[in-house]
Amino acid sequence: MPDLRGRIPAHVGVIMDGNGRWAELRGLPRVEGHRRGAERAREIIDLSIELGVECLTLFAFSTENWQRPREEVSMLMKLLELYLKNEFENLAKKDIRFRAIGEIWRLPENIQALVRETENRTAKNKGLLLVSALSYSGRNEIIRAVRKVMNSGSAPGELKEEDFNSYLDTAGFPQPDLIIRTSGERRLSNFMLWQAAYAELYFTDTLWPDFDREELLLAISDFQGRERRFGKISSGTNAS
Ligand code: IPE
Ligand code: IPE
Ligand code: MG
């Protein structure tokens, strides 16, 4: 078990990938992988709370995922519905504040209602901020933010980077310090394109349904060994 002595990332983003392959490797339908993946999410949420992570964003369904076969999309929506219904009590008990980002209006109406209800009923909680990226993509979020800026009537020259943050779905959330992607793919697949500017990226071959507590500890331990320079020079370096 890694020894975590350094700074715990305030915001961890997770691209939960590999559910389908996990199931296919076992001769199971892909939905079994998604089901198992949802269980892992619970475990990772609990450990994030124990470690003192402030914000955990789970990428659950991308804008591009609407292009999957209709049966898979509808199974994923069903799982999401079950998850929101079953987890509500737990979120309250664990003092979790739930927020969804993405084009929530594209989700089936009953799920939109569940999402809004869960957000409203957990809004005053003070513990972990749990962000679910649903029908989300970074480019889509940026375009929607640009439209809001244009509609705000502010002069183009006045827009600053900090202001732009407040037009994004993640307004008010800390920037992600660590982005984890499972399943061996080394890409962002449209996740948090604006916010990821200085995130540390961690890739593992482990498929999401196998990503257990130990795996998260390894990812954070790896993060703690990174030097985040933000474009400056190493703090121990003599400039002359
Ligand atoms: C991630 O697992 C979950 C979603 C994208 C909804 P995948 O379904 O992408 O699993 P693989 O990549 O096909 O194994
Ligand atoms: C990214 O995984 C989206 C989620 C994990 C929700 P995908 O499986 O959709 O990404 P690609 O297609 O491999 O890039
Ligand atoms: Mg995938």
Spans of all domains in the chain: 11-224
**pLDDT level of residue 113 (50, 70, 90 thresholds):** very high
* CB 113 within 8 Å of CB 182: no
| pLDDT exceeds 90 at position 20 | yes
| pLDDT exceeds 80 at position 1 | no
Ligand 2 centre distance from Cα of residue 189 (Å): 6
| pLDDT exceeds 90 at position 28 | yes
| pLDDT exceeds 80 at position 3 | no
Ligand 1 pocket test, pick from 16, 19, 40, 186 with the greatest ligand atom count within 8 Å of Cβ, gives 19
| pLDDT exceeds 90 at position 156 | no
CA distance 230 to 189: 23
What is the mean pLDDT of the segment spanning 9-22? Answer: 98
**Computed from CA positions of residues 82, 131, 56, 96, in that sequence, does the dihedral angle turn out positive or negative?**
negative
Ligand 1 centre distance from Cα of residue 33 (Å): 8
pLDDT at 124: 98
Q: Which of 10-19, 21-30, 152-161, 210-219 comes out lowest in average pLDDT? A: 152-161
Question: What is the CATH architecture of 11-224?
Answer: 3-Layer(aba) Sandwich (3.40)
Is 17 designated active site? yes
Counting from 1 in the atom list of ligand 2, the atom nearest the Cα of 65 is: 9
Going from the C-alpha of 238 to that of each of 181, 228, 230, 231, the distances in angstroms are: 36, 17, 17, 16
Question: Which of 46, 65, 212, 222 is flagged as catalytic?
Answer: 65
pTM exceeding the 0.95 threshold for the entire prediction: yes
Is 65 designated active site? yes
| pLDDT exceeds 70 at position 206 | yes
